[in-house]
């Protein structure tokens, strides 16, 4: 079947790219040359048989191009917006007795693609609905977009270019300046798709999901009318051409509410950004017969998740300092119930947002949970009412009503400064020795993935710093000097003190990746720390002596991370503190031999509960000790998904099946890859 061959193509592209990267970038072999050639030949044959060639296929080389500006082009068919509702009952009533198709409303950038003679000819952004920008070169770098398809007539379709949450987080990790990090995947995607240099787009891992077949011209000898009056059949046709489509389901008035509930539960864990749903009549002729209003077509309607808004009163703005020096404004308001939990605070993120809301103490505000998770301020009712009356939000007080930006750091009292990065203004503490930076740094150092010292909460660390007990990491291992004072502190006693000392003593026996991560070097997360330690054979001195060029050459590091690491290790005070710390620790060097690295070059995803391992973190650690890699989302590069509920209909299981990636139970995985628990 065509669908099975499409899935096989996706699998072969993934495994061959994985093998090439391991061979050329990591100096490792995960398959023999003979096996690679055999799979490569199979891929070529399948591409020839199906006419489907994916943009990231090893059989094609996509050249990068740069232009001075993106040309504009008028759409043959205007792209209208959809009418919207936040009522589930409205959706059901809108559908009436008709059959419909319900799908995600993805939160990215809409693209129109044109194929002729089986080849991608043109890609144009939505623009203003009438005129868009031609981004064909950039579209050729989308990781899952077919450059060639079996259909030989003219094919025009629409879809959404998106960047997944997991890829968004990875890209942000490579940006040292906190204020310069991208705020959400949609903004990053929009900028990535519209780059003048397609090489930049290629590095952003943009994906394309088709959602509408606009037209399909006649193809000699092929019946195309079979899909023309059914949206569901059009989706099936597009999938047969090699396109990934938005997740969609046929619905009727009897089951649409249940399907909405399904999407609502899934939105919290879905890796692809979405801001609602789209309902379309499955009967295309019927939908078209309804015509359109001045603004909207009548064949489809959008459903936006209804934000649960609560009105409350702003009590204060708390300024929260971080170990990077960034000072974030946090709104404190009268507690309200939102999505089943009591909420009394919400981040305002930066000064630009603070000022746009015109916040003042005592203002009436509305709050909600973005994507039903993160508390946010929706609007300032006081300012809105004042503006409607043509007055200042505070009457005669004017700007004096607005929350004052602190001139001094709320922690150390030293001068602050406002910095503007990418049109966003944020507040920073200028004192490199600020205690807040120390508290946050110590909090990271004692965290579970670092030194894993129990009994040292942020509040306790703050007390110890204020009391002068600790100035650098090594001081934590000499808290016994202050036993008499600690046992007298509020919340402590002899038992709490003994437990803390035992935890600190256990932490002396550790491994180098935990130490490197715990140092808090900008952009060095748990995975990067492990990768660096493996690369330098767990030799700290070699790591400290490495230059930017050497570090940048390591896959997954890059110049930003390399520069931050080198700058940290070139600082004399940092080196002195590291030396003092290492005198307190007993570092275990893992013994690595070729036989123990049987998972080298392989990538796994773990989901669900486990039986043999205490936690997913433990299994992840075991895999990484054998040279494997554990990621958070299933992609074409994933070797297998580990899930004890093999038959689950979860998004990860479904994605694995779509990509032809095995789903193994914990026991089957351990047996297949020769892993035993002692």
User: Which residues form the catalytic set?
Assistant: 105
**33-70 in b/e burial notation, b at 16+ Cβ within 10 A?**
eeebeebbeebeebbeebbbbbbbbbeeebeeeeeeeb
The kind and range of the H/E element at 118 are: none
Cα separation values, 73 from 77, 194, 281, 345, 673, Å: 12, 14, 30, 46, 53
Give the Cβ contact number of residue 3 at 10 Å: 11
DSSP assignments along 509-532, one per residue: EE-HHHHHHHTT-TT--HHHHHHH
The CA-based angle 588-589-593, given to 5 degrees, is 140
Q: Is 574 helix (H, G, I), strand (E, B) or coil?
A: helix
* Distance linking the first and last C-alpha atoms of the chain: 45
Task: Supply the DSSP symbol for 71.
Answer: P
Chain-centre distance for alpha carbon 656: 18
Angle between helices 231-240 and 2-25 (to 10 degrees): 40
Counting Cβ atoms within 10 Å, is residue 346 exposed (0-12), middle (13-18) or buried (19+)? buried
Q: Is 415 helix (H, G, I), strand (E, B) or coil?
A: strand
Counting Cβ atoms within 10 Å, is residue 133 exposed (0-12), middle (13-18) or buried (19+)? middle
Q: What is the CA radius of gyration of the chain?
A: 28
**519-537 in b/e burial notation, b at 16+ Cβ within 10 A?**
bbbbbbebbbbbbbbbbbe
The kind and range of the H/E element at 98 are: none
> Does residue 124 contact residue 134 with C-beta atoms inside 8 Å?
yes
Kind of pairing between the strands at 84-85 and 72-74: unpaired
Q: Which tokens in the block code for residue 169?
A: 């987080």
Where are any strands of DSSP class E within 485-628?
509-510, 586-587, 603-606
Dist CA 611 CA 336 (whole Å): 40
Q: Is 591 helix (H, G, I), strand (E, B) or coil?
A: coil
Shortest CA distance to 379 belongs to which of 364, 389, 390?
A: 364
Dist CA 125 CA 275 (whole Å): 19
Shortest CA distance to 245 belongs to which of 98, 88, 103?
A: 103
> Does residue 662 contact residue 640 with C-beta atoms inside 8 Å?
yes
Contacts of 546 (CB under 8 A, 6+ apart): 536, 565, 566
Dist CA 660 CA 658 (whole Å): 6
Give the Cβ contact number of residue 341 at 10 Å: 9
């Amino acid at each position: 079947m065509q669908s099975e061959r499409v899935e096989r193509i996706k699998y072969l592209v993934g495994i061959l790219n994985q093998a090439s990267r391991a061979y050329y970038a990591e100096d490792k072999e995960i398959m023999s040359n003979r096996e690679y050639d055999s799979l490569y030949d199979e891929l070529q044959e399948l591409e020839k048989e199906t006419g489907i060639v994916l943009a990231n296929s090893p059989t094609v080389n996509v050249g990068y191009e740069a232009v001075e500006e993106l040309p504009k082009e008028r759409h043959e068919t205007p792209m209208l917006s959809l009418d919207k509702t936040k009522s589930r009952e409205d959706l059901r009533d809108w559908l009436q007795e008709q059959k419909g198709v319900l799908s995600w409303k993805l939160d990215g950038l809409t693209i129109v693609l044109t194929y002729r003679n089986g080849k991608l000819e043109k890609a144009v952004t939505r623009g203003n609905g009438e005129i868009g920008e031609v981004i064909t070169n950039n579209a050729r770098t989308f990781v899952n977009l077919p450059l060639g398809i079996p259909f030989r007539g003219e094919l025009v379709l629409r879809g959404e270019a998106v960047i997944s949450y997991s890829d968004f987080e990875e890209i942000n990790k490579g940006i040292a300046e906190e204020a310069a990090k991208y705020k959400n995947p949609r903004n990053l995607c929009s900028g990535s798709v519209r780059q003048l240099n397609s090489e930049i787009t290629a590095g952003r891992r943009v994906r394309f999901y088709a959602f509408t077949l606009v037209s399909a011209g006649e193809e000699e000898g092929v019946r195309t009318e079979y899909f023309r009056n059914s949206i569901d059949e059009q989706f099936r046709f597009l999938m047969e051409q090699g396109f990934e489509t938005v997740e969609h389901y046929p619905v009727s008035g009897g089951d649409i509410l249940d399907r909405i509930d399904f999407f609502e539960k899934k939105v919290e864990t879905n890796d692809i950004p979405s801001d609602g749903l789209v309902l379309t009549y499955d009967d295309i002729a019927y939908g078209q017969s309804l015509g359109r209003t001045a603004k909207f077509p009548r064949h489809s309607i959008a459903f936006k998740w209804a934000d649960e808004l609560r009105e409350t009163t702003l009590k204060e703005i708390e300024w929260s300092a971080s170990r990077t020096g960034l000072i974030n404004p946090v709104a404190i308001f009268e507690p309200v119930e939102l999505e089943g939990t009591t909420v009394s605070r919400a981040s305002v993120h930066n000064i630009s947002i603070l000022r746009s809301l015109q916040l003042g103490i005592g203002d009436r505000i509305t709050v909600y949970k973005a994507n039903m998770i993160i508390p946010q301020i929706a609007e300032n009712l006081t300012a809105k009412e004042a503006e409607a009356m043509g007055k200042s939000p505070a009457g005669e007080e004017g700007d004096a009503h607005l929350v004052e930006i602190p001139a001094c750091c709320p922690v150390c009292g030293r001068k602050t400064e406002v910095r503007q990065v990418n049109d966003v203004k944020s507040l920073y503490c200028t004192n490199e020795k600020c205690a807040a930076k120390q508290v946050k740094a110590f909090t990271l150092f004692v965290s579970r993935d670092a030194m894993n010292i129990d009994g040292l909460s942020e509040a306790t660390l703050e007390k110890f710093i204020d009391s002068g007990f600790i100035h650098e990491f090594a001081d934590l291992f000499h808290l016994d000097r202050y036993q008499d004072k600690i046992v007298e502190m509020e919340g402590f006693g002899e038992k709490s003190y003994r437990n803390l000392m035992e935890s600190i003593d256990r932490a002396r026996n550790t491994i180098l990746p935990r130490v490197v991560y715990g140092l808090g070097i900008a952009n060095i997360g748990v995975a990067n720390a492990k990768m660096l330690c493996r690369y330098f054979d767990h030799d700290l001195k070699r790591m400290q002596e490495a230059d930017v060029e050497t570090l940048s050459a390591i896959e997954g590091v890059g110049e930003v991370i390399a520069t931050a690491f080198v700058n940290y290790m070139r600082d004399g005070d940092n080196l002195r503190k590291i030396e003092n710390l290492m005198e307190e620790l007993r570092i275990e060097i893992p013994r690595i031999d070729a036989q123990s690295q049987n998972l080298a070059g392989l990538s796994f995803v773990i989901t669900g509960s486990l039986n043999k391992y205490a936690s997913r973190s433990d299994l992840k650690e075991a895999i990484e000790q054998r040279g494997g890699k554990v990621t958070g989302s299933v992609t074409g590069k994933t070797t297998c998904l580990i899930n004890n509920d093999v038959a689950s209909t979860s998004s990860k299981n479904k994605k694995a099946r779509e990509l032809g990636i095995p789903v193994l139970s914990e026991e089957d995985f351990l047996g297949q890859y020769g892993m035993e628990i002692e």
